[in-house]
Structure 1
Amino acid sequence: MSVRNLNFLFRPKSVAVIGATEREKAVGTIVMRNLMQGGFSGPIMPINPKQQAVAGVLAYPDVDSLPVVPDLGVICGPADEVPQQIERLGARGTRAAIIMTGGLSTTPGLNGRSLHANMMDAARRHGMRVLGSDSLGLMVPAVGLNASYAHQSALPGRLAFVSQSGALCNAVLDWARPKGIGFSHFISLGESADVDFGDLLDYLGSDPSTRAILLYIESIRQRRNFMSAARAAARNKPVLAIKAGRRAEGAKAAASHTGALAGTDAVYDAALRRAGMLRVYDLDEMFTAVETLSRSKPTRATKLAVLTNGGGIGVMAVDELIEIGGELAELSPATIEKLNTALPSWSRSNPVQIGNADGDRYIKALDVLLEAEEVDSVLIMHAPTALTSASEIAEQVIKSVKAHRANVMTCWVGQEQVGPARRLLREAGIPTFETPGAAVHAFMHLVNYRRNQDMLMETPASALADFTPETANARLVVETALATGNTILSEPEAKAILTAYGIPTVETHIARTPAEASRLASEIGGAVALKILSADIAHKSDVGGVMLNLPGPFEVEKAANLMLEKVAGKMPEAQIQGFTVQRMARRPGAQEIIIGVTTDPIFGPVIMFGQGGVAVEVINDSAIGLPPLNMTLARELVFRTRVSKLLLGYRDRPAADLDAICLSLMKISQLIIDIPEIVELDINPLFADAEGVLALDARIRITATAFGPDRMAIRPYPKSLEETLLLTDGREVLVRPIRPEDEPSHHVFVSKQTPEDIRFRFFGLVGELPHSEMARLTQIDYDREMAFIAVLHDDGVEGETLGVVRTVSDPDNERAEFAVMVRSDLKGSGLGRKLMMKMIDYCRARGTGQIVGQILTDNTRMLKFVESLGFKRLRYVEGDIIEVALDLRATMGPQAEAT
């Protein structure tokens, strides 16, 4: 992933077209026509050895004959010539190319390798960026660049559209132009040989001309790069995605319930949600959503009030709202009384139906609703009547909305009579829609987008702070199984791992024969459960391999013999190791839930939660999340299921212990981080009630293949970077990466700085940092950023924060910008030096080119300090700010005394 040289792709000063021609309907003909008609101001140089001119422009026989070095090369020629043309362009100094030719991956080239491989070898030698192959091209209307063979051009605008489908690009252009929708960038990825979603999200996420980013995704290749780039871009602007291929059937042969339920589409959905993006399902919805997000103010609105002059359209809106999971505001007695006073007649409930109302009556009702505490947002609806003016009502609504600075949506139903009114609302920046369904879906876009953004910015408390798993015990179970060639753990082995991670389980014993099962039942006493023990049987209930409530030893032996007969009849090839015997768990009223793990081929390990039991696939009530999890993310995962409503309690059943459920999800998340050999896991059923959770059955599949930390789509907390250090006064401090739950202590840390230190750090006097900014500082993407904090460490207990150093790397890892801050009363303790040295060592280890920073010129102490570490002064950024840099590829300078 890199943004290196992408400026040559999107802002070239000159373009060469290899394969330019005047042959009718040829790609090279259309590309030249589009470039010439687009208004590009730089040289456009066609390359064709057989023609003197193309499209009225002097042609050149080859790249070497070009009068100037082209910033961008567009290759439309035969596939077998592409690697050679890339080599020639690179040698000439070109730094970006678009490959419109297809078939490179499947066509053999030199040395038995594909043309694709040879092309990329040449590109890498010269530092060239390649868009394609098999790309439709790109457009940047603001600079007149239409380097594509699309059938029409894009209008200028502030939306960036990126697609893996060239056909869809043409469809979007055809769809958007009549609607007046314009684009800052319009990009066809093609086969993504080099430039991929991650690169473009990084580039477009920081592009000031782009207001929102729209993606059409068929597949993702680099999970970590995609997730890091998407999360970074989504912090800056709305990112919306259509994911194609939602009905993949690849999970049918899965060996576990989780594998069967965690289909490709569910995992993509979880990834897009975790990245802070908004998923949509068609083009209409995509462009409606981006318009809504761009015109609406940031809000946490979830409860909607509907104000309408027609009961029918109001009911239609409410029906659709409830159907798609929205929440209708329940009007308080105080609000109802105010509406009674303001209106001669109305429906006395939400939706607020006010009859043949003019603008004055609309405004009286709207003012009450906008001031009601129980109402988060208002949908204003109007159907045309002979007694009122749609435009006059729209004008009144506009005045009221501006006066209240409120978030509202409007729906003027109809066409001819309400068209001018909708135009007035749109020009005033108020979202307006033609149908009740479209308006309600737009409201839910706001709700879902804010919810996904919250997943980026939440600051949860870590319930695992006081929990230390017995990782060594769990690893021993896995290593022992692998040593004997087993990849499916027995039920007792799986439960031993769960026990090591603090998840309560039912004590389970192994019996090799029916007689031994009878003896164990006698020792246990009371009713027992008997299960077949076989690594070949994924779902024991399906083959008669589970017997419950067996009252005594005689019944157990009889059941065991019968079980062997049933299993032999249904799965004669299964190797039977014996039986498991366990005391019947008596938890009246407990809900059966499932927690599982499977390994997605794209996004790596994912966690599933849902309603459990033998009919788990039939019920199909589950939600997927990406690890790592914290309490907030775990709770969000739980509440995306229907069973969550049962877990909250109903009638005489008390609520289940939701904290225990969420803690179990976090522990499983930690387990798969710590033990990468685990590729599949089921806890089903997991009993959940007011007393907590209890695992009745468990299944774990492992592999001997070594998986590194990159298998995770989101880099987990890097615990290995924790280090205990001594200050000059003898105090012990723990230096570790920052965590989201550090926000409260970080507020305290900043509050203890002197005004001068605050000015030096933030380049101005600031008060208390808002939650959004502090969350941004404490919840970081460890794949791109790092922040080490120093906390007092006394007998294993962490105390207050004493200092912090952070770096933010560019996508190429060439430069990392640093900032360091030590509590004002600790200057001279040596902490600042220790933090900086830790960060320097970290950046050097991950291959960062240089560390840079900006320092106020009157911060002489800091300037002297960093110079003692080898930093050099580079330039003045502004009059009172100087940039310093440490080249990590060179030797470090002399070390000065500790500050």
Structure 2
Amino acid sequence: MSVINLEYLFKPRSVAVIGATNDPRNAGNIVMRNIMAGGFLGPVMPVSSQAEAIAGVLTYPSVRHLPKTPDLAVVCSPLDEVPEVIHSLKERGTKAAVLMGAGFASMTAEESQDIRSTILSIANPPDIRILGPKSLGFMVPSLNLNASLAHARVEPGKVAFISQSDSLFATVLDWAIDKGVGFSHMVALGSRIDVTFADILDYLGSDPLTRSIMLYVESIKDAREFMSAARAASRNKPVLVIRPGHALDSVLAGSRRRAAWGYSMDEVYDVAFRRAGMLRVEDIDGLFDAAQTLSAPRQVYDRKLAILTNGTSAGILAADRLMVGGGELAPLDEDTIKSIDKVLGEENWSRANPVDIPFNADGKAYSDVLKLLLKDKNSNGILAMHVPWTAQPDVEVAEAIRDALKRVKRMVLTAWLGSGKAGQAREVFRNAGVPTYETPTQAVQAFLYMAEYLHNQEMLIETPDSLPTDFFPDTAGARNIVRNALDQGRDALTEPEAKDILAAYGIPVVETRIAVSAKEAVIAADELGYPVALKLRSPQIPQPFDVGGVLLDLETPERVWEGAASILARCTRERPDAYIEGFTVQKMGRRPGAHELSVSAHLDPVFGPVLLFGHGGMAREMIRDQALTLPPLSMSLAKELVSRTRISTLLRGTPSHLAADIDDICLTLIQISQLIVDVPQITSIDINPLYADPEGVLALDAKIDLAPFEGEGESRLAIRPYPRELEECVTLKKGRQVTLRPIRPEDEDTHRAFLANLSDEDLRLRFFGVVQREFDHKDIARFTQIDYDREMAFIATALDERGDPETLGVMRTNTRPDNSEAEFAIVVRSDQKGEGLGSMLFYKGIRYTRDRGTAKLTGQTMVENKAMQGLAKKFGFVITPDPDDPDLVDMVLDLEKAEG
């Protein structure tokens, strides 16, 4: 929903415990004791009609008897009493409540839903934010607040943990206490009738006390909200996630669904996590190992690792784990080998990676070799390992490595094996901020996690290749085909209809005809031209190959006639129950040496449309070489999807086969992605096989299923696509034609040029001070790669004298998650002022925010920027001095009262 009133949940100044009791087994007693033992500094007010004092604190008989309105209420009353409690809290003005009371287990599904609806209708979030029901509670150690049923407390730290599971909450708590790990927040979500993952991600994404966020996820309710919040949070700080995976899917989805669609829900979650820039880990150890590594100031950009060790077997174990995990042993530069020879002697080390040095190497030897490895550019990271030996100075070696790493920017991880002094050595590294681990496996996995995380981050901000400018699909034609089929009561298109739709979206297809008899099959073959393929059509036989219902390379009318008769005879003999609709006649698509691929799209119950790509043909189900992704797609994302399949290696070419046209394959994926947005009545598409070779692609077979759908197609997507409907053309005062449209990732180069062309004064007024003129890729990516649900940037673009596109101005809005307010910023190139462009951009931004139901549009500008203030007044903004900064003024427009 939003972050509104979440500060009352996670930063309360006063707490009431409703349903407090002296029964030590009751939630009301446990949470009361935990709050008091934690040392929370604000008032704690237990509400109970059964005891005068609980945990040493005098009680109050009801909510209305409380001496002050609590910011937070921890409700431990039975669930059937909660509606009345929430009503009383709302009358007092309480803004947040945690529901811990029992009662769900004894309720039927209908009763459970009724009580949830009743609670929500009374609380009316965000008037009162509800965590739970069935929540174990939460902790904010920096406030000494333990409003949970947990059996222990943790120390303050920079990591937040949000769990959908009470048992995982307790497990992570124990793990953290044992490892000495602190938290900024620990939250058990419970049944999530109000506060969700998305809400807390939004809250923690801007929390200065939280450096990284860890999630335990089993299911997501609103994919669009989750993806939007996760993408925003992961741009600011690492977000790590655990999900049980296939075992959970077998419980939630059932084996029938997995068999039918060819993928499990877990694979969809996996790709969603990656698209959001998050890192998925396998277990609790992985969560904290990855969090430790990602919090290090150094980063890795590929998977090449150098390993330094004084134990041969330990080095081999680390190298094996690295290669199994998809990493590489970095080759040593020849100069590096010669330099280490001088330090250790040729005979005293492995002269390869892993760098195996003498078992009794002292701190100076470790330090000298490490410094040489740091100079070698072939590796992206270094793992320094130490195996304990008798009388070996573990701590001294650790201190030498620590000193060698001062002011070093390369990623170095350490693994000190053993206990005792090895533990002291690890403490040396922890105090110095050097990632350290107990085993080679942990260290290598942490390195691989960092590489994976940074790959996901790069995908999040990568500039896509430009889409073809000549891609103009016949959307109206495709919609007409679908509408006609639905009007006839059909839930699937015929193969020719399916291919007509593909052709309307620019995908090459093999010509196909439908015939209801052998005679019509011959006529169709004559029209198409020989040779042809003949295939049986029967709703009971989805795969005609299974009954010999496919004949290829029929070169004469006689062969077609005889083939149809033989197919009918075989089918009647083997499947007498099947209804025969007729035949599909298809012109033979001759592409010798072409790869057989498949492209399909289906609806996932959580994330909406999902695209699959991989090996095609008859063996698709056995080979199971498929990868999936979420639309919308760019060329970069399509290429990344292709790269995750095994067949991608063959597509790049072999000694006996030329490389396939990868760009054409990716364009096909983008076309399908756009099709399922434009025609939301399509529930599934299956193209198999799709031939691919150096000449491009050719679809041989296609199936499309349908269902009625009302609304916009983009509403089905977990990630909002580029809003093409917001594009418009305008004419400036001097007659120049300009397009006003949302910004796209592909605009990076022109936007960089736009910023470079702004005058120093433009930049100073836009950014409220002197700023550097050099914007790197990450900066520009933040400007051009936006979440169209929360952010909007309208650019004014036109062609320059050379016919190249250029950006003339931009209007940005950033909307709060609850849509209550949007903040704007606008800048126009100096040489374009006086053309009316600023007013056009401003008006477009106002219309957009008003149309999406935003309540207020706000902005700030410098007192001296009279032009901006004049423009704002023109559109009805109220301008007042900023109370916190005399150099600024605030501009506010009530969009509900603004004129159209």
Which bracket does the TM-score occupy, shorter chain normalised? over 0.9
User: What is the rounded CA distance, in whole Å, between the counterparts of 2:730 and 2:541 in structure 1?
Assistant: 52
Listed as ranges, the matches of 1:327-726 within 5 Å are 327-345=328-346, 346-356=349-359, 357-386=361-390, 388-521=392-525, 524-568=528-572, 572-708=576-712, 709-726=714-731
State the one-letter code of the partner of 2:885.
E
The structure-2 alpha-carbon separation of the partners of 1:492 and 1:251, relative to structure 1 and needing over 3 Å to count, comes to: farther
Q: Of 782, 794, 797, which aligns to 1:776?
A: 782
* Higher alpha-carbon deviation: 227-236 or 640-649: 640-649
2:65 corresponds to 1:65? yes
User: What is the rounded CA distance, in whole Å, between the counterparts of 1:545 and 1:821 in structure 2?
Assistant: 65
User: Could you list the runs of 5+ residues in structure 1 that have no partner in the other structure?
Assistant: 894-899
* Higher alpha-carbon deviation: 480-489 or 599-608: 480-489
User: What is the rounded CA distance, in whole Å, between the counterparts of 2:615 and 2:246 in structure 1?
Assistant: 23
User: What is the rounded CA distance, in whole Å, between the counterparts of 1:313 and 1:811 in structure 2?
Assistant: 50
User: What is the rounded CA distance, in whole Å, between the counterparts of 1:150 and 1:137 in structure 2?
Assistant: 8
- Give the alignment's TM-score, normalised by structure 2: 0.95
The structure-2 alpha-carbon separation of the partners of 1:413 and 1:296, relative to structure 1 and needing over 3 Å to count, comes to: farther
2:812 corresponds to 1:806? yes
RMSD (CA atoms): 2.4
2:734 corresponds to 1:740? no
SS of the residue corresponding to residue 465 of structure 1 reads: coil
Listed as ranges, the matches of 1:739-758 within 5 Å are 739-758=744-763
Identity rate of aligned residues, in percent?
50
State the one-letter code of the partner of 2:315.
G
Listed as ranges, the matches of 1:814-853 within 5 Å are 814-853=820-859
* Higher alpha-carbon deviation: 666-675 or 153-162: 153-162
User: What is the rounded CA distance, in whole Å, between the counterparts of 2:209 and 2:370 in structure 1?
Assistant: 36
* Higher alpha-carbon deviation: 546-555 or 76-85: 546-555
Measured against aligned partners, the alpha-carbon deviations of 1:549-600 in whole angstroms (never above 9, x if no partner) come to 4454444333333333444556555443211122332323222211111100
* Higher alpha-carbon deviation: 388-397 or 108-117: 108-117
* Higher alpha-carbon deviation: 102-111 or 163-172: 102-111
SS of the residue corresponding to residue 787 of structure 2 reads: coil
Query: Which residue does the alignment assign to 2:181?
Result: 181
Deviation at 1:785, TM superposition (A): 0.7
Query: Which residue does the alignment assign to 2:54?
Result: 54
Query: Which residue does the alignment assign to 2:295?
Result: 294
User: What is the rounded CA distance, in whole Å, between the counterparts of 2:623 and 2:108 in structure 1?
Assistant: 49
Measured against aligned partners, the alpha-carbon deviations of 1:765-819 in whole angstroms (never above 9, x if no partner) come to 3212111011001000000011100111699987211110000011111111111
The structure-2 alpha-carbon separation of the partners of 1:551 and 1:736, relative to structure 1 and needing over 3 Å to count, comes to: same
The structure-2 alpha-carbon separation of the partners of 1:121 and 1:269, relative to structure 1 and needing over 3 Å to count, comes to: same
User: What is the rounded CA distance, in whole Å, between the counterparts of 2:617 and 2:591 in structure 1?
Assistant: 15
The structure-2 alpha-carbon separation of the partners of 1:734 and 1:534, relative to structure 1 and needing over 3 Å to count, comes to: farther
User: What is the rounded CA distance, in whole Å, between the counterparts of 2:108 and 2:425 in structure 1?
Assistant: 61
CA contact (8 A) 2:160 2:212 kept: yes
State the one-letter code of the partner of 2:720.
R
User: What is the rounded CA distance, in whole Å, between the counterparts of 2:432 and 2:559 in structure 1?
Assistant: 78
Q: Of 867, 870, 888, which aligns to 1:881?
A: 888
Deviation at 1:167, TM superposition (A): 2.0
Query: Which residue does the alignment assign to 1:37?
Result: 37
User: What is the rounded CA distance, in whole Å, between the counterparts of 1:463 and 1:109 in structure 2?
Assistant: 49
2:159 corresponds to 1:159? yes
Measured against aligned partners, the alpha-carbon deviations of 1:294-335 in whole angstroms (never above 9, x if no partner) come to 125233232222222233222222221121212232334444
Deviation at 1:33, TM superposition (A): 0.8
Deviation at 1:392, TM superposition (A): 2.7
* Higher alpha-carbon deviation: 858-867 or 843-852: 858-867
The structure-2 alpha-carbon separation of the partners of 1:420 and 1:24, relative to structure 1 and needing over 3 Å to count, comes to: closer
State the one-letter code of the partner of 1:302.
R
Listed as ranges, the matches of 1:267-306 within 5 Å are 267-306=268-307
2:140 corresponds to 1:134? no
User: What is the rounded CA distance, in whole Å, between the counterparts of 1:802 and 1:617 in structure 2?
Assistant: 52
SS of the residue corresponding to residue 878 of structure 1 reads: coil
Deviation at 1:199, TM superposition (A): 0.4
The structure-2 alpha-carbon separation of the partners of 1:535 and 1:798, relative to structure 1 and needing over 3 Å to count, comes to: farther
SS of the residue corresponding to residue 825 of structure 2 reads: strand
CA contact (8 A) 2:223 2:606 kept: yes
The structure-2 alpha-carbon separation of the partners of 1:858 and 1:105, relative to structure 1 and needing over 3 Å to count, comes to: farther
Deviation at 1:34, TM superposition (A): 0.8
CA contact (8 A) 2:380 2:410 kept: no
SS of the residue corresponding to residue 861 of structure 2 reads: strand
Measured against aligned partners, the alpha-carbon deviations of 1:324-365 in whole angstroms (never above 9, x if no partner) come to 212232334444444445541232332222333333333333
Query: Which residue does the alignment assign to 1:80?
Result: 80
2:143 corresponds to 1:150? no
SS of the residue corresponding to residue 213 of structure 1 reads: strand
SS of the residue corresponding to residue 405 of structure 2 reads: helix
Deviation at 1:419, TM superposition (A): 2.5
SS of the residue corresponding to residue 241 of structure 1 reads: strand
* Higher alpha-carbon deviation: 171-180 or 747-756: 171-180
User: What is the rounded CA distance, in whole Å, between the counterparts of 1:331 and 1:609 in structure 2?
Assistant: 38
CA contact (8 A) 1:104 1:116 kept: no
Query: Which residue does the alignment assign to 1:100?
Result: 100
Deviation at 1:426, TM superposition (A): 2.0
The structure-2 alpha-carbon separation of the partners of 1:553 and 1:349, relative to structure 1 and needing over 3 Å to count, comes to: farther
User: What is the rounded CA distance, in whole Å, between the counterparts of 2:226 and 2:779 in structure 1?
Assistant: 24
Deviation at 1:455, TM superposition (A): 1.9
The structure-2 alpha-carbon separation of the partners of 1:113 and 1:592, relative to structure 1 and needing over 3 Å to count, comes to: closer
SS of the residue corresponding to residue 365 of structure 1 reads: helix
User: What is the rounded CA distance, in whole Å, between the counterparts of 1:675 and 1:818 in structure 2?
Assistant: 33
Deviation at 1:145, TM superposition (A): 1.2
Query: Which residue does the alignment assign to 1:312?
Result: 313
User: What is the rounded CA distance, in whole Å, between the counterparts of 2:803 and 2:538 in structure 1?
Assistant: 45
Deviation at 1:650, TM superposition (A): 2.0
State the one-letter code of the partner of 1:833.
S
Listed as ranges, the matches of 1:157-306 within 5 Å are 157-247=157-247, 248-249=249-250, 250=253, 252-253=255-256, 260-306=261-307
Query: Which residue does the alignment assign to 2:791?
Result: 785
* Higher alpha-carbon deviation: 269-278 or 41-50: 41-50
Query: Which residue does the alignment assign to 1:896?
Result: none
Deviation at 1:40, TM superposition (A): 1.0
* Higher alpha-carbon deviation: 722-731 or 405-414: 405-414
User: What is the rounded CA distance, in whole Å, between the counterparts of 2:526 and 2:818 in structure 1?
Assistant: 66
Deviation at 1:756, TM superposition (A): 0.5
User: What is the rounded CA distance, in whole Å, between the counterparts of 1:402 and 1:775 in structure 2?
Assistant: 32
Find runs of 4+ consecutive structure 1 residues off by over 6 angstroms. 108-113, 794-798
The structure-2 alpha-carbon separation of the partners of 1:573 and 1:214, relative to structure 1 and needing over 3 Å to count, comes to: farther
* Higher alpha-carbon deviation: 817-826 or 854-863: 854-863
- Give the alignment's TM-score, normalised by structure 1: 0.95
Query: Which residue does the alignment assign to 1:897?
Result: none
State the one-letter code of the partner of 2:133.
S
The structure-2 alpha-carbon separation of the partners of 1:507 and 1:408, relative to structure 1 and needing over 3 Å to count, comes to: same
